[in-house]
Every structure is written in C-alpha cells, then in structure tokens.
Amino acid sequence: MDSAVVMERERVRITRRPACYLCGSPGDLLYANLSDRQFGIPGTWNFLRCSSEKCRLIWLDPTPVDDDIPRIYRYLRVTHQDHSRAERSSPLGLKKLLQVRDSYLALRYRFPGGERDWDAGRLTGVLAYLHPAKRADIDFPFRPLSGAPKGRLLDVGCGGGEMVRLMNLWGWQAEGIDFDPLAIENAKKKGLTVHLGSITDQRFSDGSFDAVVMSHVIEHVSNPIQFLREAWRILRPGGRLALATPNGWSLGHTVWKRNWIHLHPPMHLFIFNPPALAVVLRRAGFAQYFCWTEPRWADQAFVASRSISRWGNFDERLPQPLSLQALGWLMASVQWLGLRVWKNLGEEVIAVGIK
C-alpha cells in the first residue's frame, strides 16, 4: 500500500498489482488514466493485461485495498433495482416483457413448474427468440441449472431478490445474500429469505446448498479463487455453481476498447475470458466446469459504450431513444450470428462448476 487517493466523501486506499493474479506473469498496460463513467467515483485507474498469451487476464491497477472496497459502493446512486436493466429500458413496457419472459421460461424450462401449458398466451414466449441479448439475459441461471435436481439455492448478490423469487417459483428453496442493507430490507418485505453481508461471514455449513448462483459478482472481488472456494465448500457433492461475468474477449470490448461499459473502473477488479475463468473454477476445487459466452445484455452494453465513447459517461436512468435501442438490438444480433463461428465473442462468459 504505497499510495492513496482521496475521494470526495470517502478515503479509499489503493495498492499496486503489477503481476497477474492467475499466472504471475507481468502485466502490460492496456488502458491508462480511466475514470469512473457512471457514478462519479473520483480517481484515475489503469487496466493491465497479462503478458502470457495463454492467460490474458485483465485487471485493475492500482486496485483498492480489500478493507476499503465497500466504500466505493457508497457512490452508487441506486443499487440493486428490483428489475434488471433490460426490463427497465424495454420499449414494449415492463409488463409485456415480463409476459414474454414468463412465457419463454414456461416454454423452455417448464417454469413455474409442473406440466407445460400450451395455451395461446404462453406462445408469446417464442418472441424472445427474436431478441438474442434479452433471451440470453432471461436464460441465466435457468440454462446453467437446467436438469439439476432442485433443492436449496443461494443467490450471491441478490439485490432486491427478484431472482430469489423466480427461483422459488421454479421449485427451488432459494435464499439470497447481499451487502446492501437497503436491498436486503426490500427483499425481506417481500417475504424472501435473504441475508446481509458477504458469503464468507455467514458461516454456512459444508455441503448445505444444492446450487449457488452469482451474476456480475466475481469481477468485483479481490480474491476470486478464495471466493469461489467458499461457494464450493457450501455446495453438496454434485451441487452446481452458475455464474456470469463480462467477457474480455467479447465483440463489445474489441469494438469499444477503453470505452467499453463493462470495464467499470474502479468497481471491476478483474475482466475474465473463458479460459481464465476456467482456471479460477479449477483452482477453487470444482471437479467439472464448463465456460461459454453469450450475447447477454449486449444491446444495453452497446448503448452504454456508445454513450461513453461520445460523451464520456453513461447515465442508465435516462431513457434511450427507440432508434438507439433498435441499433443495440441489431448489434446484439450481429454478435449472436458471429457466435456461430467465433464461440468466444459473446458479451458475457457464463460458467458452470460441478462439485
């Protein structure tokens, strides 16, 4: 800890991370002097990329010291809305989209449970196939958990508990965990089983869960292997981890480079790629693991990255014009088509680990 940056409201100590967390190779400077583009968090940050061609992990340097990481999150204007970005910004309106989502889930995953019901309303689910980015969003974590025997499930970073609610409806006994007290209070009001804090302070028993789910969490933690080892410990043998994280090899990152929304300095400490994430799962103890990429939220990532490229920032509260959303849809569809040939260019890496 050789230097510190003073923030307006909080003091966050920083430390250098010159070598790769995964393989120890030196990092090459990828982007210099980036600042936060969404929440006004002070400070400038670099991203380094592992010099080993086999690894190519990307990481934040300097990086906040562990104890001060929670201070960064006090800058977020609104944490953990009840509905995902995709739903909030839908030009069709939330209700319609939810109907398509639920119908698609019923068609593909027998959601909310029981036998398939082929009434006309449910057939609107086929519309989800017209929007690859939103469909990939809806698919998580249904696709990674598909076929797994249902039991106790933990959603890490559960926010307001929407996924906990959905997983309960799907037949799991779902619980959530989050470090945001307001989000947890909100989820409790809905009668959901949720815990405040980090996965490590809960001291869950060994093997007490059948599934652990985390979306956009692993890139925020300073020791991802230790973090996933805790997920591994609380899973029963054969239990499943499902996670999603931005993909450093994505078409979005390739096109937008330093303006790519998912760099998110200083909140994103690591940007993984499929083989690098596989190394994390293996070292965390998972006997079997699969990583693939999907165009999840690729339309929204396009809109946000374009905004950063043009104006230097992105405010997700502002409504986006329909023409821009249509362009986002087009770019996501291009990505989806490209995935038929180049399997690693999806916006996000999805990983499944089996204990």
Question: Cα-flanking dihedrals φ and ψ of residue 251, to 5°?
Answer: -60, -40
Least separation in angstroms between residue 262's CB and Zn ion is 19
Query: Which residue's CB is nearer to Zn ion, number 25 or number 313?
Result: 25
Burial group, residue 153, by CB count within 10 angstroms (0-12, 13-18, 19+): buried
* Interactions with Zn ion, residue window 129-188 (CB under 5 A): none
What token pair was written down for 52? Answer: 């080993």
Smallest distance, Zn ion to C-beta of residue 23, A: 3
Least Cβ distance, residue 60 to Zn ion (angstroms): 14
Structure tokens belonging to residue 37 = 């583009």
Question: Residue 38: which of 323, 320, 305 has the closest Cα?
Answer: 305
Could you tell me which stretch among 46-54, 74-82, 103-111, 168-176 binds Zn ion (CB under 5 A)?
46-54
CA gap 160, 353 in Å, rounded:
25
CB of 318 to Zn ion, least distance (A): 38
Q: What amino acid is encoded at 282 in this protein?
A: R
Residues 233-262 that bind Zn ion (CB under 5 A): none
Q: How far apart are CA 14 and CA 5, in angstroms?
A: 7
Work out which of 4, 5, 19, 23 binds Zn ion, going by CB under 5 A: 23
Looking at the Cβ atoms of 22 and 194, the one nearer to Zn ion is 22
Q: Which residues pair with 4 in a beta bridge?
A: 13
For Zn ion, the closer CB: 212 or 279: 279
Q: How far apart are CB 21 and Zn ion at their closest, in Å? A: 7
Stretch touching Zn ion by CB under 5 A, among 22-30, 79-87, 156-164, 295-303: 22-30
Pairing of strands 348-354, 45-50: unpaired
Q: Which residue has the tokens 């030009």?
A: 91
Q: How far is CA 208 from the centre of its chain?
A: 24
Dist. CA 24–CA 27, nearest whole Å: 9
Shortest distance, position 232 Cβ to Zn ion, whole Å: 22
CB of 20 to Zn ion, least distance (A): 3
Token pair, residue 171, equals 């037949």
286's tokens:
């998972």
**CB closer to Zn ion, 30 vs 261:** 30
| One residue of 12, 14, 17, 22 binding Zn ion per CB under 5 A | 22
Which one of the spans 1-9, 21-29, 141-149, 164-172 is the region binding Zn ion (CB under 5 A)? 21-29
User: Is 20 a binder of Zn ion (CB under 5 A)?
Assistant: yes
Q: Give the total of residues touching Zn ion (CB under 5 A).
A: 8
Q: Cα–Cα–Cα angle for 69, 71, 77, nearest 5°?
A: 115
CB closer to Zn ion out of 50 and 261? 50
Q: Is the peptide bond before 112 cis (omega within 30 degrees of 0)?
A: yes
Q: Footprint of Zn ion on residues 50-69 (CB under 5 A)?
A: 50, 52, 55, 57
Q: Which residues bind Zn ion (CB under 5 A)?
A: 20, 22-23, 25, 50, 52, 55, 57
